[in-house]
């Protein structure tokens, strides 16, 4: 006679809930009801309620592996604890995160993770933005129970051209492995050995050199992977974060500029599901270096320093007779590397002057750069924006390589004039509104200092036509002003008639005028200046 196993006594069925729309699910977490889209995991559902379940290996942009077992929760009718990152929400599911069993399990998992973790906080780059620190402090805070020698592994492993690995700090969450596999599409990292000797290492025959390698530093919850570019330069808690847009190429990845003491220390990606999700490429990350190279901090007249007033007067004295004599002799160059506002202001001025020709200067495409992920061949951040502006103002803009032989004087935005022979450059009288003193601007007749992209409030338009807002992180060096403001000063000095009397006093006024002129942008709204966010008090980024 077989024993009859009676089914467990079921709780009385709850009152019937009206059938939800087919793509959402109702469940209860910690006694609070929540409705989420089908397929959402319990961790994300809890986050919408403000419940923070500790997790290391889960990342919303990467595949779920439930490797770290940190996010264990109790699900009713399930005898074992479930990893909430992997547990899909089910209709009527009841989840508990504060019950003693799952709370103990999460604390024990943290204790386990910390067993062999080196006492590196004072020298670790991640200190201040470390997920392990945050989760221990917020979810555990128990004292150590053991006093044994920790397992030692290699401390400074050169993984590739950009990253250094500290194997002891690695908590084996595998986020970096998945980041390389999924974001870069290149399997370059993997685990070796097992147990408490398991280490992260490069795949056989490979090194970590894909163009998205620095994303692994972002996703690493601890200080195991550090960027050679950033390590030991600045402490994370000193930094302030300002949202902006990368000016490295036409993708326009959303970024945060991390800055302090009036300079940028690193760029990190900002989540945008439509543009770059959670990632950005290494080249873009390193574009902050050029903010401090060859910067023009004061106006130059014939290569010698001058104040703004003298430079504007010199520019007006140079320009006005030529304009009066022959409009064909003056050319205006818009730049695909400058913001929409700068280009619009100069375009309007060009129109008011009635110059013969308007050109667009853009850096040439980099063949082979496009990889179907984030990088594209067009390395100009704002080519599309300039095109739209030029069309809306009916400027008839042509590439600068088609520079007309009649032009004797150029008013240009930016520093480079690609495609123009040096001999031709030498005979032009150039008035350059530029942030950098290089290229054509180095030999300009008059150079007016402009603020760079990280120092202005403005917009750029990416390849897909999306207009994105940049916020100013710090003040421009020396006497540099936003490009549109230089244009306004030039306009007022050259008396270009009523249409040319540009009187903008703030970037939002330029923006307003611009969105009224460019039909495609008529619905855009200028967002308030982003408030500086001190990373120290903003909660960990991990």
Partner 1 sequence: MSAKVLDALKAAHGAAIDSVETQHGDAIAWVVRDRLLAVATWLKSDPAMAFDAPVFATCIDRLDWKPIDVPPGPPVYPASAGWTEDRPRFEVVYQLRSTRHRHRLRLKCAVPEHDARVPSLSSLWPAFNWQERETFDMYGISFDGHPDQRRIYLYDEFVGYPLRKDYPKEKRQPLVRRDDLPINPIKVPGGHR
Partner 2 sequence: MAAPSTPTGPGDASNRSLKQLVLGRRDVQDLSDTEQELPSELMTINMGPSHPAMHGTVRIVLTVDGERIVASDVQPGYLHRCFEKESEYATYTQVFPYTDRLNYVSPMINNCGWAMVAEKLMGLTGKLPRRAEYIRVIVSEMSRMTDHLTCVGASAMELGAFTPFLYLLKCREWLYELLEKVSGARLTHSYVRIGGVGKDLTPNFDAELTLCLDQIVKVMVECESMLNHNKIFRDRMAGVGAMSKDDAIATGCVGPIARAAGVDYDVRKDYPYSVYPELEFDVPVGTTGDCYDRYLVRIEELKQCIRILRQCLKQIPDGPVMVDDPRVALPAKAATYNTIESMIRHFKHIMDGIKVPAGEAYAFVEGGNGELGFYVVADGTGRPYKAYVRSPSFVHLSTASQLIHGHLIADVVPIFGMINMIGGECDK
204 burial class (0-12, 13-18, 19+ CB within 10 angstroms)?
exposed
Question: Which of the choices partner 1, partner 2, none does residue 143 contact, using the CB cut-off of 5 to 8 A by kind?
Answer: partner 2
Should residue 309 be labelled a site residue for partner 1 when binding is judged by CB under 8 A? no
Closest CA to 345 of 144, 502, 473, 188: 502
Could you say which of 50, 205, 367, 368 contacts partner 1 (CB under 8 A)? 50
Under DSSP, the state recorded for 518 is S
Q: How many CB atoms lie within 10 A of CB 417?
A: 25
Minimal distance, residue 534 CB to partner 1, in Å: 10
Could you say which of 109, 133, 254, 462 contacts partner 2 (CB under 8 A)? 133
Give the binding range for partner 2 (CB under 8 A) out of 110-118, 293-301, 412-420, 515-523.
110-118
Question: Which of the choices partner 2, partner 1, none does residue 469 contact, using the CB cut-off of 5 to 8 A by kind?
Answer: none
* Cβ pair 230, 125 in contact under 8 A: yes
* Cβ pair 202, 189 in contact under 8 A: yes
- Sequential DSSP letters for 82-139: EETTT-B--TTEEEESSSHHHHHHHHHHHHHHHHT--S-GGG-TTTTS-HHHHHHHHH
Question: Which of the choices partner 1, partner 2, none does residue 104 contact, using the CB cut-off of 5 to 8 A by kind?
Answer: none
Choice between 126 and 469, CB closer to partner 2: 126
Should residue 478 be labelled a site residue for partner 1 when binding is judged by CB under 8 A? no
Minimal distance, residue 114 CB to partner 2, in Å: 5
Please give the Cα distance from 532 to 262 (Å, whole number).
Answer: 12
Q: What is the dihedral of CA 86, 88, 92, 95, to 10 degrees?
A: 20
Question: Which of the choices partner 1, partner 2, none does residue 244 contact, using the CB cut-off of 5 to 8 A by kind?
Answer: none
Choice between 137 and 516, CB closer to partner 2: 137
List, in order, residues 6 or more apart from 78 with CB less than 8 Å away.
none
Tokens at 477, concatenated: 């060096």
Number of chain residues interacting with partner 1 (CB under 8 A): 30
Should residue 49 be labelled a site residue for partner 2 when binding is judged by CB under 8 A? no
Choice between 52 and 186, CB closer to partner 1: 52
Should residue 136 be labelled a site residue for partner 2 when binding is judged by CB under 8 A? yes
* Cβ pair 464, 376 in contact under 8 A: no
Cα–chain center distance at 438: 26
Task: Compute and round to an integer the Cα radius of gyration of the chain.
Answer: 29
Minimal distance, residue 505 CB to partner 1, in Å: 7
Closest CA to 311 of 451, 495, 445: 445
Closest CA to 70 of 116, 106, 95: 106
List, in order, residues 6 or more apart from 239 with CB less than 8 Å away.
258, 259, 260, 265, 266, 534, 535
Tokens at 156, concatenated: 């400074």
Should residue 539 be labelled a site residue for partner 1 when binding is judged by CB under 8 A? yes
Could you say which of 172, 184, 275, 481 contacts partner 1 (CB under 8 A)? 481
Footprint (CB under 8 A) of partner 1, residues 372-401: none
Should residue 505 be labelled a site residue for partner 1 when binding is judged by CB under 8 A? yes
Tokens at 293, concatenated: 């190279």
Question: Which of the choices partner 1, partner 2, none does residue 329 contact, using the CB cut-off of 5 to 8 A by kind?
Answer: none
Should residue 149 be labelled a site residue for partner 2 when binding is judged by CB under 8 A? no
Length of the chain: 542
Should residue 191 be labelled a site residue for partner 2 when binding is judged by CB under 8 A? no
Should residue 114 be labelled a site residue for partner 2 when binding is judged by CB under 8 A? yes
Question: Which of the choices partner 1, partner 2, none does residue 475 contact, using the CB cut-off of 5 to 8 A by kind?
Answer: partner 1
Binding-residue pattern over the window 242 to 261 for partner 1, x denoting contact by CB under 8 A: x-------------------
Angle subtended at Cα 70 by Cα 157 and Cα 31, rounded to the nearest 5 degrees: 155
Binding-residue pattern over the window 428 to 467 for partner 1, x denoting contact by CB under 8 A: -----------------------x---xxx----------
Should residue 117 be labelled a site residue for partner 2 when binding is judged by CB under 8 A? yes
Could you say which of 28, 38, 44, 49 contacts partner 1 (CB under 8 A)? 49
Sheet holding 254-260, edge to edge: 263-269, 254-260, 240-245, 533-534
Should residue 533 be labelled a site residue for partner 2 when binding is judged by CB under 8 A? no
CA dist list (Å): 92 to 19, 21, 301: 11, 14, 74
Choice between 147 and 427, CB closer to partner 2: 147
Should residue 221 be labelled a site residue for partner 1 when binding is judged by CB under 8 A? no
Could you say which of 353, 474, 511, 521 contacts partner 1 (CB under 8 A)? 474
- Positions that interact with partner 2 (CB under 8 A): 114, 117-119, 121-122, 127-128, 132-134, 136-137, 140-144, 237, 536-539
Binding site for partner 1 (CB under 8 A): 30, 32, 49-52, 138, 242, 262, 451, 455-457, 471-476, 481-482, 485, 505-506, 528-529, 531-532, 538-539
């Amino acid at each position: 006679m077989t024993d009859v196993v009676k089914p467990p006594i079921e709780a009385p069925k709850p009152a019937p809930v009206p059938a939800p729309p087919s793509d959402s699910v109702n469940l209860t977490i910690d006694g609070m009801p929540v409705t989420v889209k089908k397929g959402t995991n319990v961790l994300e559902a809890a986050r919408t309620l403000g419940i923070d379940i500790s997790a290391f290996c889960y990342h919303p942009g990467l595949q779920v592996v439930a490797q770290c077992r940190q996010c264990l929760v109790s699900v009713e009718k399930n005898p074992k604890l479930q990893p909430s990152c992997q547990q899909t929400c089910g209709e009527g599911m009841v989840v508990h995160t504060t019950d003693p069993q799952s709370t103990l399990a999460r604390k024990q998992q943290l204790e386990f993770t910390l067993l062999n973790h080196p006492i590196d906080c004072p020298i670790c780059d991640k200190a201040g933005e470390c997920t392990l620190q945050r989760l221990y402090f917020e979810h555990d805070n128990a004292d150590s129970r053991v006093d044994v020698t920790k397992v030692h592994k290699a401390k400074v492993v050169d993984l590739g051209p950009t990253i250094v690995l500290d194997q002891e700090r690695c908590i084996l969450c595998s986020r970096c492995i998945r980041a390389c596999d999924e974001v870069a599409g290149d399997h370059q990292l993997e685990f070796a050995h097992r147990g408490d000797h398991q280490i992260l290492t490069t795949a056989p025959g490979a090194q970590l050199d894909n163009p998205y390698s620095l994303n692994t530093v972002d996703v690493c919850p601890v200080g195991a992977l550090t960027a050679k570019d950033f390590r030991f330069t600045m402490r994370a808690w000193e930094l302030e974060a300002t949202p902006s847009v990368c000016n490295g190429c036409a993708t326009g990845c959303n970024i945060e500029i991390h800055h302090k003491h009036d300079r940028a220390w690193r760029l990190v990606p900002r989540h945008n599901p439509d543009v770059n999700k959670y990632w950005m490429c290494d080249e873009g990350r390193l574009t902050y270096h050029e903010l401090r190279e060859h910067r023009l901090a004061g106006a130059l007249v014939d290569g010698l320093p001058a104040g703004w007033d003298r430079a504007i007067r010199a520019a007006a004295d140079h320009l006005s007779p030529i304009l009066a004599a022959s409009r064909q002799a003056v050319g205006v160059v818009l730049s695909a590397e400058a913001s929409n506002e700068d280009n619009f202001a100069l375009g309007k001025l060009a129109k008011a002057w009635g110059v013969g020709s308007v050109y667009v200067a853009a850096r040439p495409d980099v063949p082979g750069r496009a990889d179907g992920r984030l990088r594209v061949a067009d390395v100009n951040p704002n080519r599309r924006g300039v095109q739209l502006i030029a069309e809306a103002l009916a400027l008839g803009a042509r590439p600068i390589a088609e520079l007309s032989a009649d032009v004797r004087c150029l008013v240009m935005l930016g520093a480079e004039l690609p495609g123009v022979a040096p001999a031709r450059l030498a005979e032009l009288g150039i008035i350059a509104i530029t942030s950098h003193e290089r290229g054509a601007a180095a030999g300009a007749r008059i150079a007016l200092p402009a603020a760079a992209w990280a120092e202005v409030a403005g917009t750029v338009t990416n390849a897909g036509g999306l207009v994105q807002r940049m916020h100013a992180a710090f003040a421009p060096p020396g006497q540099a002003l936003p490009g549109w403001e230089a244009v306004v000063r030039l306009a007022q000095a050259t008396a270009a008639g009523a249409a040319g009397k540009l009187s903008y006093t703030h970037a939002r006024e330029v923006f307003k005028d611009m969105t009224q002129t460019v039909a495609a942008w008529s619905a855009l709204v200028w967002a308030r200046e982003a408030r500086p966010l001190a990373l120290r008090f903003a909660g960990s980024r991990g």
